[in-house]
Structure 1
Amino acid sequence: MATKKKSGPSGSANLMPWLGIAFIVILLDQLSKLTITTLFQHGEERRITSFFNLVLAYNPGAAFNFLSDQSGWQRYLFTAIAIAAVIFIITMLRKHAGQRLFCWSLALIMGGALGNVIDRLAYGHVIDFLDFHWAAWGHFPAFNIADSAITIGAFLFIFDELRRVNKH
């Protein structure tokens, strides 16, 4: 009796490029945060251009400082949400490893989520340092490389889904 061989690489081999992208995001994120915390004091700000500063800020909440004024429970909630999201993302990457743009988006989101989880577990807050501002509109909330990866991943995800819907 002949057994059927699977065509193509195993599931874990299919995951490797996407896990590699997530790892690169985490590495860039953590190196940038280590650099900024070495060079700056909390709250210190350096003007780079007329619309961009580097500033060392701590965010114990979520995006836009959501729940940052709470007693600390939010640290565990956001960590748990991120870990659940990473588990779901790995499942999706396994199922759809051949869909390049979809997997790029998920890998960026996963890397960003884990970069911020590392901060929450290590420091109790996320380290932010990119500060964009525009004249009368004021300052956009400071963010970091992990947040940027999550945002880019979300845009790629939406673009990929719209492209897929328009094909059908």
Structure 2
Amino acid sequence: MYFIIIAFILIADQGIKYLIRAAMELNQSIPLIDGIFHITYIHNYGAAFSILQNKTVFLIAVQVIVISGILVYLVKKRKTEHPMLLLSLAMIVAGGLGNLIDRAANGYVVDFLDLRFWPIFNIADISVCVGCGLMVLYVLIIEPKRSRSKI
């Protein structure tokens, strides 16, 4: 189940990035809601919020290590861990893989979702952020209840 979620997010992310690259010029911006939401095609040579610019090899190494560790955990714990934790990890892996594919193939990540007041981002970034949010909810709400029930 979780590997289907990873595949779905990864296909959506890579498919939309392919369409953006094919249909738009670099730095072109198309307003969908003028001044609020644009599709703006850029290359991000760093990580989230463009930190660690031009540290491609380092970023690839970190992504490979983190994604590999999470995948091993997902395989080993898929039958015993809480579904929300597993979903959060699957979303983090999917987003991480989407950006890793870009970075390894091109040396940059394709970003295109532009809210005008926030750094431009992509589907993979959304997946990682939602996955992290679900993990925070799991740690703050579900895990304490599970721990108490084991006592």
Does TM, normalized by the shorter one, top 0.5? Answer: yes
Match of 2:142, as an amino acid?
R
Q: CA deviation at 1:104?
A: 0.5
Alignment match, 1:61: 46
1:69-128 alpha-carbon deviations (Å, 9 max, x no partner)? xxx4x1111111111111111122134313211110000000100100100111110000
CA distance in 1, matches of 2:61, 2:48: 16
Alignment match, 1:160: 138
CA distance in 1, matches of 2:27, 2:103: 18
CA distance in 2, matches of 1:102, 1:155: 11
Q: CA deviation at 1:164?
A: 2.5
Alignment match, 2:23: 39
Give structure 1 regions of 4+ aligned residues with deviation exceeding 2 angstroms. Answer: none
CA distance in 1, matches of 2:144, 2:136: 12
CA distance in 1, matches of 2:67, 2:48: 18
Distance 1:165 1:100, change over 3 A: closer
Distance 1:54 1:63, change over 3 A: same
Do structure 1's residue 27 and structure 2's residue 11 form an aligned pair?
yes
Do structure 1's residue 92 and structure 2's residue 73 form an aligned pair?
yes
CA distance in 2, matches of 1:24, 1:165: 27
Give the SS at the match of 1:27: helix
TM-score (norm. length: structure 2) = 0.90
CA distance in 1, matches of 2:103, 2:52: 14
RMSD: 1.2
Report how many aligned residue pairs link the two structures. 143
TM-score (norm. length: structure 1) = 0.81
CA distance in 2, matches of 1:67, 1:156: 26
Q: CA deviation at 1:19?
A: 1.7
Alignment match, 1:7: none
Q: 5+ unaligned residues in a row in structure 2: which ranges?
A: none
Alignment match, 1:130: 113
